Structure 1
Amino acid sequence: MSDDTKEYEVGYGKPPKATQFKKGRSGNPKGRPKGAKGVNASLKRELETKITVREGSHEIRISKAEAIAKRFTAGALKGDTKLLMALLKLDTDLFNASELDAQESVRTVEPDAVDYDILRDFFSSQLDGDGDLENEEAEDDDS
């Protein structure tokens, strides 16, 4: 034996040098191929493949996803309410829902000085001499 193997202690977490993984070599050479990423990746690849579709008098090549979208919208336009509802659920941007949310957040306005005066008058009329709301509410409950 060489000097290197005599000094190396074999034990728990220290396998023999001959059985350790070699640099640049996979520990699982027959594992999942690099191209296989699961069902979602396979579906995405399939939807990206091109097909030939006839539109009117000419043929065009579009992805399967585009063909599905065309069929989906054509059915919705013909009056299929199920397709229309599914289309609306899929894409909320069709009716600018995100723009409406953005506009509503912009519409928040700071109150004017008049608003503060009205609130101050309201609460001061609700307070009794001690500035305590609870006593007045208790009196209202007794009557």
Structure 2
Amino acid sequence: MSDDEKDYEVGYGKPPKHTRFKKGQSGNPKGRPKGARGLSASLKRELESKITVREGNREVRITKAEAMAKRLAASALKGDSKALLAFLKLDADLFGDSEAHDTEAGLSGRPEPVDYDILRDFFSSPQAGQEDVEDQEDDDDGT
């Protein structure tokens, strides 16, 4: 044995020399099997599969992704703040902050002064917003 082999200390992160990978030899000689798929492919395949849902009186076959989007939008409209934040984040991730998306949705890039006035009036009196909703509900009943 040479002096280098005697001085070499085997331990954590220092395997014995005879068990190390040889130069030019792969640690995974067979490689990934052809049929194996990654998580993203499995997730995509699952979201693209169709399910039957009831919309009103009829049954419709839609993808699971569409069903999830509908459920998220419905929860956000019902007032679920977590669903609303998730929906807005998803919208920003998918469409970005592009002006093309804003103009397509009928939104301008910057709020108008009128928008600030409306918000200030709405938040200045918490009961004012509730009275408006109650008045609208009474109008819908025809009374």
TM-score range, shorter chain: 0.3 to 0.5
TM-score (norm 1): 0.45
TM-score (norm: length of structure 2): 0.45
